[in-house]
Amino acid sequence: MSYYFIAGNCGKVLVWPMDFSHWMNLKAILDELVQRGHEVTVLRTSASIFLDPQKSPGLKFESFSMSVSKDDLDKVFTMFVDVWIHEIPRDLCLPFSPLLKNVANELSDTYLRLCKDTVSNKQLMTKLQRSKFDVLFSDAIAPCRELIAELLQIPFLFSLCFSPGHKMEKYSGRFLVPPSYVPIILSRLGGQMNFMERVKNMMCMLYFDFWFQTFNEKKWSQFYSETLGRPTTLTETIGKAETWLIRFYWDLEFPRPTLPNVDYVGGLHCKLAKPLQKEMEDFVQISEEYSVVVFSLGSMNAMWLSTIHHGQPMKPLDRAIFWIEFIMCHKGAKHLRPLAHNLTWYQYHSLDVIGFLLASVAAIAFISIKSFLFFYQEAGRPGRWAVGGAGRTGASRGLPIPRAERWVLESVPLRLRCVLGRLEYFPRTGLRILVVF
């Protein structure tokens, strides 16, 4: 009932698109939103390559010019595809990463120019502000969409396949990616890893976490802080996304822990196969002299994976539409975002708790050892403790000891006296007292 109630309220969706295959995935969702009566506005720059308003009559395009040309954008994407095709298929993630990093820096600088031109366009931003959009929807591969959403003060959500090394998912989305059984993207590893493969997976994870940057975070964080008028970072701003729509599913991906604001909608752009044309089907069925041989490699595995993919209670495209409409209806989904976003890095990894527990154990051990040494030294002084009584007795001060205490002293075997104590001689009284320490 809630689903149909949400779907009955048409909203206004602002889209920050990407070119090439990313646009194909977005367009499948946008066309379905239009079919359900929502108003969809796509920001189209003068450098756009695949975004053709003539081929998408149901969408509303907001076109504007900028300093980045089509040739600049096409050049960067061509470099990226060339590195991806010819350099990625290697055995270890480290050798090709310097080349990938150079392309990523080039892509980062290009999109930074594009983003600056967009947010500095006062006429465009004023028009978007007056339009009062309900939500911003975008592919998460390139920044700027979260900055536009922050300036317009509207919720936003992402569609994403993956980022290099799962870095964006881990630090902005707080995804759980245990390296012991979740292979890092670009590591070419499977889910069942032996010891050396887990070592390789850990090396790849550390490399992408601490050395590789998909985008120059320092430049982007500085630009975001200047634009918003408050100190912030690229990672923090991306982390404000309400929902993440991940474009893969468990038929082709390894299982991993997930969060309530993450949904896996892989295959949303896939359509049912069309049947054979009637002429072709008749030819196959009634042919007597000739026969048709269908040769397919991996067809049984493909059918098995297809069965897994279609065995879902709700189609991936319907789930993607549901979350967009859900966020429009409720003005966000803050209750689904993990509270890990409110923690610092050391709180997230419980380093402060671990440090407190270690310090407590160390303090208890230190006090115990010091106390033991203190009592040991005090007990080792001559005449400090006598066998016959507690504390200082008369014998320890050179006075005659009572009969009961002397009986206790004489009852101690000689060998035990040598081990546990020593004899103290008092010349005036002629007494020899065993002092235990």
For 123-140, write each residue's pLDDT tens digit.
Answer: 999 999 999 999 999 998
pLDDT for residue 188 = 81
What is the pLDDT averaged over residues 256-282? 85
Residue 417 confidence (pLDDT): 46
Q: Are 164 and 96 in contact (CB under 8 A)?
A: no
Instruction: For residue 172, give the nearest of 149, 154, 146, 148 by alpha carbon.
Output: 146
**Separation of alpha carbons 108 and 111, rounded Å:** 5
Q: What pLDDT sits at residue 1?
A: 42
Average pLDDT over residues 267-296: 75
pLDDT digits (tens, 9 = 90+) for 293-306: 777 777 778 888 88
Q: Is the pLDDT of residue 383 over 60?
A: no
CA distances from 103 to 112, 119, 219, 369 (A): 14, 24, 16, 59
Answer with the residue of higher pLDDT: 299 or 246: 246
For helices 70-86 and 93-119, angle between their N-to-C axes, nearest 10 degrees: 160
> Can you give the pLDDT at residue 227?
96
**Rounded to 5°, angle at Cα 279 from 275 and 283:** 100
Mean pLDDT across 338-356: 91
b/e per residue 55-64 (b: at least 16 CB within 10 A):
ebeebbbeee
| Helix (H/G/I), strand (E/B), else coil: 244 | strand
**Reported confidence tier of residue 311, pLDDT bands at 50, 70, 90:** confident
All residues at 6 or more sequence positions from 249 whose CB lies less than 8 Å from its CB, including other chains: 264, 265, 266, 267, 309, 312, 316
Query: 3-class DSSP state for residue 60?
Result: strand
Q: Which residue has the higher pLDDT, 272 or 53?
A: 53
pLDDT of residue 2: 44
- Decide if pLDDT at 351 tops 90: yes
Instruction: Tell me how crowded residue 32 is: count the other CB atoms within 10 A of its CB.
Output: 17
Residue 111 has pLDDT above 70, yes or no: yes
The reported pTM is: 0.77
